[in-house]
Amino acid sequence: MKPATLVAEALPHMPPITNLYSTEDGFLLVLVVEVPDMTSILTSMGMQVPVSRRI
């Protein structure tokens, strides 16, 4: 598991909630949380893709 920093947070009233995180080694993580019927929360982690770094 890698530490990640929140990059962008979705508006909570616009499902599905999608947050973007970046890791120290230059990867971008996508976290999607969807509440289909208010009794369960489905969470899936998107694939990691390298992001360009500023020089």
Distance between CA atoms of residues 6 and 1, nearest Å:
15
Q: In the predicted model, is pLDDT for residue 42 greater than 50? A: no
Are the C-beta atoms of 18 and 10 separated by less than 8 Å? yes
Amino acid, single-letter form, for residue 37: D
Q: In the predicted model, is pLDDT for residue 17 greater than 70? A: yes
pLDDT computed for residue 27 by the predictor = 81
Average pLDDT, the chain: 66
pTM: 0.48
Backbone angles phi, psi at 5, to 5 degrees: -115, 135
Structure tokens given for 53? 């770094």
* pLDDT band, very low/low/confident/very high, at 51 (cuts 50, 70, 90): low
